[in-house]
Amino acid sequence: MQNEWLYIGIFLVIGIIVPIVPLVFSRLVAPRKPNPIKQSTYECGIETVGDSWVQFKAQYYIFALVFLVFDVETVFLFPWALSLKQLPLFVVMEGVLFIAILVTGLVYAWRKGMLEWA
Amino acid sequence: MLFLNDPINFISGWLRGLLTGWGLPGGLMTVIIYFIGITVLIVFAMTLDILLVWVERKVVARFQDRLGPNRIGPFGLIQPFADIIKLIIKEDITPAGADKLLYNMGPVLAIASVIVLWAILPLSAKIFGVDLNVAVLYLVAAGALGTLSIIVGGWASNNKYALLGAFRMVANMISYEIPMVVALLIPTILANTMSVQGITQAQSGMWFAILSPLALIIFLISAIAELGRSPFDLNEAESEIVAGFHIEYTGMKFGLFYAGELLHAFTFGGFIAVLFFGGYGGFFGLEKIGFFSWLNNPFVQAVVFLAKAMFGYWVIMWIKYSMPRIRIDHMLGFNWKFLTPLALVVLVNTAILSKVLVGLPNWGYVLGMLFSNIVIGFITVEILRAYGRKQRKAEAKPAPQSAHNQEQAA
């Protein structure tokens, strides 16, 4: 069990090293002649106006809120799904009830017009 | 003979003997053996990735009635290597004002997030990295890491188009994570385990693609969305935001994003094979007959697995090159109003039926599952058709009236 996660850890380390190798190699081989025009931000040839890190309106932020609720609650479904074979039908129906409550939340958000592109 | 039957244990046993002879402690020995095995696996994955560039270019050429690369080497097979040389000797331009650390982290994460998935990909019963008992959750976690690479790269480029691409990727992710997780719950229920080896072995008699075709469709759609491939390639929509998140990346950094995307698609083809098409096995009991016992050989299983993964990859390519891009609000609506409810219905159906049908013989179980899926699919299509009819009626009614009004106004 511990060895499995040791394996994953080593895998992650090598997985990060592998893409760095061609980058380092490219650094050694490729020419480097930076100048301000070359490094300027690309905007189809037009000169950049203002900072890029401005505030955008993320129109889907309400979707993101609904997503958060669902994402947390789907995690609870995994233990239920795993022990389904051992559980009596009554407990399975309780899980179904849990999903029904989730769906009620979705229907509520839908009826409230939250699932519309604002 | 022993090598052919169990190559990993054969080599690691031999190495262990060798290292013990050198007098190394046991813990260090394990690390060294893991290190060698992982390096071999990753080198295999990266070589495959280079070949995938050729496959992708050749297949898209055929879809578009072209020849594709055919100059360098037989059938243009050496072309990707020439591409790599070109990408490496290109100048690497970092845009002014970019967040240097995150800007360089983006492409590295893009490859790393795919490679870590290979740790749990079961090539055969004996050739695999590690058999985690939470492999399904690991798949979701590593997939989110790939999304993170795009967000990081897009944000750090200090470019408005790139930032828009990153924003759209977030929209993509919050759309498709839920159906994907729910679709992953269904193989978990059917196999009663989250380990990929367990799921593969549970399908030796019957593929989950037959038991629950709707789950397969939902997983395929959400996998394509997670990859950010057409029709969900909003994060790099060429006609709107030029190249999206990788607009400021040049040379090898762009190459890493590209290679990462291809390997990601292939890896998801592999997971579709594992979760729904029996992975390296799934011969419907054929391998138990003496004449076909060679199907149990790990190398044969690996070839079968790679063929199934390549088929999944091909389907993803097929969809990519035949479908136009969908609009972002349509994408969010498609997910939240269609895919998520459908996924939850299929989940409830599978949970209840796997409890109710448990007493039946095997063929009754399979037929019951398949039939319920077909019924749900049919009802879904009917609801969609009724909705479409209503929409068309609503559009058709006011149209002539408004034209009339305009005439009067003119």
- Position B24, amino acid: L
Task: Give the confidence band of B399 by pLDDT, cuts at 50, 70, 90.
Answer: low
pLDDT surpassing 60 at residue B267: yes
* pLDDT score at A67: 85
Structural tokens at position B329: 């609000």
pLDDT at position B1: 54
Interchain proximity B351–A44, CB inside 8 Å: no
ipTM of the complex: 0.86
Q: pLDDT grade, residue B219 (50/70/90)?
A: very high
Q: What is the pLDDT of residues A24-57, one digit of tens each?
A: 888 888 888 888 877 777 777 777 777 777 777 7
pLDDT band at residue B405 using 50, 70 and 90 as cut-offs: low
In a domain, A118, yes or no: no
Place of tokens 């408004």: B402
Domain of A19, in residue numbers: 2-111
Indicate whether A27 belongs to any domain: yes
Domain boundaries, chain B: 1-89, 93-336
In a domain, A116, yes or no: no
- Are A76 and A24 in contact by the 8 Å Cβ rule? The answer is no
Specify if A117 maps to a domain.
no
Name the nearest CA neighbour of B335 among B93, B104, B173. Answer: B173
A–B interface: beta-carbon pairs under 8 A: 206
DSSP assignments along B180-248, one per residue:
HHHHHHHHHHHHT---HHHHHHHTSSS-HHHH-HHHHHHHHHHHHHHHT-TTS-GGG-HHHHTTGGGTT
Distances (CA, A) of B299 to B8, B126, B139, B199: 11, 9, 24, 20
A43 Cβ under 8 Å from any chain B Cβ: yes
CATH number at residue A33: 1.20.58.1610
- Give the number of other Cβ atoms within 10 Å of residue B74's Cβ: 7
Q: How far is B216 from chain A (nearest CA, A)?
A: 17
A82 part of contact set with chain B, CB < 8 Å: yes
Closest by Cβ to B242, choosing from A32, A33, A44: A44
Nearest Cα residue in chain A from B46? A18
Q: How far is it, in rounded angstroms, from Cα B279 to Cα B123?
A: 8
Q: Give φ, ψ of B128 to 5 degrees.
A: -160, 160
How many domains, in total, are found in chain A? 1
Chain centroid, CA B205 distance in Å: 24
- Listed residue (B153, B376, B390, B379) closest to B254, CA to CA: B153
Q: How far does CA B261 lie from the centroid of its chain? A: 10
